[in-house]
A = this chain, B = another copy of it.
Amino acid sequence: MGFVGNMVVAQSGGPTSAINATLCGVIEAALEAGIKIYGAEHGIRGVIDNQITLLNPIFDAEQNRALLKNTPAAFLGSCRYKLPEAEDKHSIYEAIFENLENLGITYLVYIGGNDSMDTVYKLSAYAKKYSKNLTVVGVPKTIDNDLAGTDHTPGFGSAAKYVAATVKGIARDSAVYAEKSITIVEIMGRNAGWLTASAALARCGTSAAPHLIYLPERRVSREKIIADIEACPERNIIIAVSEGIRDEKGIYYCESETSCFDRFGHAQLAGSCRELECLLKEHFHYKTRGIELNIPQRCSSYIMSLTDVNESVQIGYEGAKAAIAGRGAIMMGFFRSSQYHIEIIEMDVSDIANVERTVPDAFIAENGSDVTDAFIDYARPLILGEPVLIFEDGLPKHIAL
Q: Which residues of B contact A206 (CB under 8 A)?
A: 398-400
Q: Which residues of B contact A391 (CB under 8 A)?
A: 386
A181 to chain B, nearest CB (A): 12
Which residues of A, 364-390, contact B by the 8 Å Cβ criterion? 380, 383-386, 389
A183, B299: Cα distance in complex, Å = 14
Residue among B45, B183, B301 making CB contact with A169, cutoff 8 Å? B301
Report the nearest B residue to A166, measured CB to CB: B296
Residue among B72, B262, B265, B289 making CB contact with A278, cutoff 8 Å? B262
Which residues of A, 31-48, contact B by the 8 Å Cβ criterion? 41-42, 45
Q: Which residues of B contact A296 (CB under 8 A)?
A: 166, 169-170, 291, 293, 296
Q: State whether the Cβ of A221 lies closer than 8 Å to any Cβ in chain B.
A: no
Tell me if B302 and A398 are in contact (CB < 8 A). no
Most buried by B among A72, A78, A206, A294: A294
Q: Which residues of B contact A170 (CB under 8 A)?
A: 295-296, 299
Tell me if B77 and A178 are in contact (CB < 8 A). yes
A300, B392: Cα distance in complex, Å = 20
Tell me if A15 and B173 are in contact (CB < 8 A). yes
Q: Which residues of B contact A183 (CB under 8 A)?
A: 295
Tell me if B303 and A177 are in contact (CB < 8 A). no
Q: Which residues of B contact A268 (CB under 8 A)?
A: 260, 278
Q: State whether the Cβ of A168 lies closer than 8 Å to any Cβ in chain B.
A: yes
Report the nearest B residue to A80, measured CB to CB: B177
Most buried by B among A11, A80, A165: A165
Q: State whether the Cβ of A211 lies closer than 8 Å to any Cβ in chain B.
A: no
Tell me if B396 and A168 are in contact (CB < 8 A). yes
- Per-position contact with B for A219-232: 1 when CB-CB < 8 Å, else 0? 00000000000000
A399, B172: Cα distance in complex, Å = 10
Tell me if B394 and A172 are in contact (CB < 8 A). no
Q: State whether the Cβ of A1 lies closer than 8 Å to any Cβ in chain B.
A: no
Tell me if A385 and B380 are in contact (CB < 8 A). no
Q: State whether the Cβ of A136 lies closer than 8 Å to any Cβ in chain B.
A: no
A interface residues, tally (CB under 8 Å) = 72
Tell me if A177 and B77 are in contact (CB < 8 A). yes
A261, B278: Cα distance in complex, Å = 11
- Per-position contact with B for A255-268: 1 when CB-CB < 8 Å, else 0? 00110111101001
**A170-B299, A173-B298, A296-B296 as given contacts; A383 in contact with B395, CB under 8 Å:** yes
**A165-B302, A391-B386 as given contacts; A291 in contact with B291, CB under 8 Å:** no
A237 to chain B, nearest CB (A): 15
A176, B300: Cα distance in complex, Å = 15
Q: State whether the Cβ of A292 lies closer than 8 Å to any Cβ in chain B.
A: yes
A80, B291: Cα distance in complex, Å = 21
A80, B176: Cα distance in complex, Å = 11
Most buried by B among A71, A176, A270: A176
Residue among B79, B165, B202, B394 making CB contact with A177, cutoff 8 Å? B79
A sample of 16 inter-chain contacts (CB < 8 A) reads: A72-B169, A77-B176, A77-B177, A161-B394, A164-B394, A165-B300, A168-B395, A168-B396, A172-B398, A201-B394, A204-B393, A206-B398, A206-B399, A260-B270, A291-B296, A303-B303
Starting from the known contacts A183-B295, A207-B400, A386-B389, 15 additional A-B residue pairs (CB-CB under 8 Å) come to A73-B176, A77-B175, A77-B177, A164-B394, A166-B296, A166-B300, A175-B400, A204-B393, A206-B398, A207-B398, A260-B260, A261-B265, A292-B294, A302-B303, A380-B394
